[in-house]
């Protein structure tokens, strides 16, 4: 009787232990990728230029990320992948919308500054003309007219430079004007300029010839495919290829500095083909003044 009772007790313990272990193995976990999409959303929220421009889209992205982070059993992994995918799309939509609004605000600010400068120039012209009429001294009147002409010429030059910047598709940054040239300049793994690169580079040459007061930094960038030293060397060779092209087109070498950045400054996610393509680039930094750009290797 005791032997039978012991067997039943051992069987009950074994069944209980199996259920406990099975329950542990099936504990729901947050789907793969949910942490990465949370990091992307946090990065967007932490950008002061973007975070306050798209509250509706950010709320939608936050809700989607929270849903994607909810633990699911392994049997519902497809649902988890779908939730992560939708959260990524929501974050991308919020970022694209915020970036668009930020660019529009920047354009509006530049437009207002041009309008203010134009109004100031016109106001100055009127005041100088009135002063000239009140002055009997012909020399004073001549100087006033000359000053008005100088203001008008300065305004014309400012507007012309703005058109040239827009034609180059350059961005105004704290470092100066930044022109990004994609990887269409080079074949994969090569530092030899392709024929299709000439059009964009020739626009840059025209701009630099028109504004000899500006110095230029040529920076080469790569994706993360390959080793660090290989990418460092490739990025430097590519920056030097653009540097040499500009010199051949008549740009004074003392105005130019070239530097290889390698894969240290990605602008997109290297885990996707489109992200790697954006990271394979050459950036032309046109300085604000005659001061030399940051020190490089040449």
| Model confidence pLDDT, tens digit, residues 250-290 | 999 999 999 999 999 999 999 998 888 888 889 999 986 54
Pair of tokens at residue 194: 């392709």
Residues 144 and 236 in one domain: no
Same domain, 77 and 102: yes
124, 246: one domain: no
Q: Are residues 125 and 230 in the same domain?
A: no
Of 217, 226, 216, nearest in space to 263 by CA: 226
Distance CA 177, CA 168 (A): 10
Region for residue 189 given its phi and psi (left: phi exceeds 0; alpha: psi -120 to 50; beta: otherwise): left
Tell me how many helices (H) and strands (E) the chain has.
Answer: 8, 5
Co-location of 68 and 142 in the same domain: yes
What are the Cα distances from residue 54, in Å, to 34, 39, 105, 225, 271?
22, 18, 13, 34, 26
In a domain, 22, yes or no: no
Percent of the chain having pLDDT more than 70?
75
The answer on pLDDT for 65 being more than 70 is yes
155, pLDDT greater than 60: no
Note whether 187 and 131 are same-domain residues. Answer: no
Same domain, residue pair 143 and 242: no
Asked if 118 contacts 155 with a C-beta cutoff of 8 angstroms, the reply is yes
Segment 209-220 shows an average pLDDT of 92
- The number of beta carbons lying within 10 Å of the beta carbon of residue 99 is 16
CATH number, position 234: 3.30.1330.60
Instruction: Tell me, yes or no, whether 12 lies in a domain.
Output: no
The predicted pLDDT at position 55 comes to 86
H/E stretch holding 284 = strand 281-286
Identify the domain boundary among 108, 136, 166.
166
**E strands within 174-298?**
176-181, 216-221, 256-262, 281-286
Is 9 inside a domain boundary?
A: no
Domain that holds residue 246: 169-298
Crossing angle of helices 77-134 and 138-168, in 10° steps, is: 170
Number of domains in the chain: 2
Supply 245's token pair.
């092209």
Give yes or no: residues 181 and 142 share one domain: no
Least confident of 20-24, 39-43, 248-252: 20-24
Can you give the pLDDT at residue 226? 86
Q: Which two tokens stand for residue 211?
A: 């504004």
Judge whether 244 lies within some domain: yes
Q: Which of 166, 190, 217 delimits the end of a domain? A: 166
Answer yes or no: is pLDDT of 138 > 80.
Answer: no
| Same domain membership, residue 173 and residue 298 | yes
Residues 6+ apart with CB under 8 A from 53: 97, 98, 101, 102, 105
Inside any domain, residue 21: no
pLDDT band at 295 (very low <50, low <70, confident <90, very high): very low
How far is 29 from 25, CA to CA, in rounded Å? 11
How is residue 205 written in tokens? 């040459």
Q: Using the 3D structure, point to which of 166, 198, 220 is the last residue of a domain.
A: 166
* Secondary structure of residue 79 in the 3-state scheme: helix
Whether residues 210 and 284 share a domain: the answer is yes
Q: Establish if 2 belongs to a structural domain.
A: no
Residue 20 binned pLDDT confidence (cut-offs 50, 70, 90): very low
| Mean pLDDT, the chain, integer | 80
Stated pTM of the model: 0.45
- Look at residue 18 and tell me if it is in a domain: no
């Amino acid at each position: 009787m005791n032997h039978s009772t012991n067997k039943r007790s051992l069987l009950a313990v074994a069944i209980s232990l199996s259920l406990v272990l099975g329950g542990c193995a099936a504990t729901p976990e947050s789907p793969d990728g949910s942490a990465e999409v949370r990091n992307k959303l946090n990065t967007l929220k932490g950008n002061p230029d973007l975070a306050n421009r798209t509250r509706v889209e950010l709320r939608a992205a936050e809700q989607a990320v929270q849903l994607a982070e909810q633990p699911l059993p392994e049997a519902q992994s497809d649902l988890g992948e779908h939730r992560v995918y939708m959260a990524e799309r929501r974050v991308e939509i919020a970022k694209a919308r915020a970036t668009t609004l930020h660019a529009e605000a920047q354009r509006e600010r530049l437009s207002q500054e041009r309008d203010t400068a134009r109004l100031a120039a016109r106001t100055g012209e009127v005041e100088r003309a009135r002063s000239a009429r009140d002055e009997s001294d012909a020399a004073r009147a001549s100087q006033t007219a000359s000053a008005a002409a100088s203001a008008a010429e300065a305004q014309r030059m400012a507007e012309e430079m703005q058109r040239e910047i827009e034609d180059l598709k350059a961005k105004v940054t704290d470092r100066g004007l930044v022109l990004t040239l994609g990887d269409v300049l080079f074949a994969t793994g090569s530092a030899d300029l392709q024929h299709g690169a000439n059009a964009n580079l020739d626009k840059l040459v025209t701009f630099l010839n028109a504004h000899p007061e500006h110095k230029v930094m040529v920076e080469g960038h790569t994706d993360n495919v390959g080793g660090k030293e290989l990418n460092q060397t490739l990025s430097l060779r590519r920056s030097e290829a653009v540097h040499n092209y500009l010199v051949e087109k008549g740009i004074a070498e003392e105005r130019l500095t070239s530097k290889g950045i390698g894969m240290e400054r990605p602008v997109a996610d290297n885990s996707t083909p489109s992200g790697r393509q954006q990271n394979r680039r050459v950036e032309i930094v046109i300085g604000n003044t005659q001061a030399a750009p940051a020190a490089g290797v040449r």
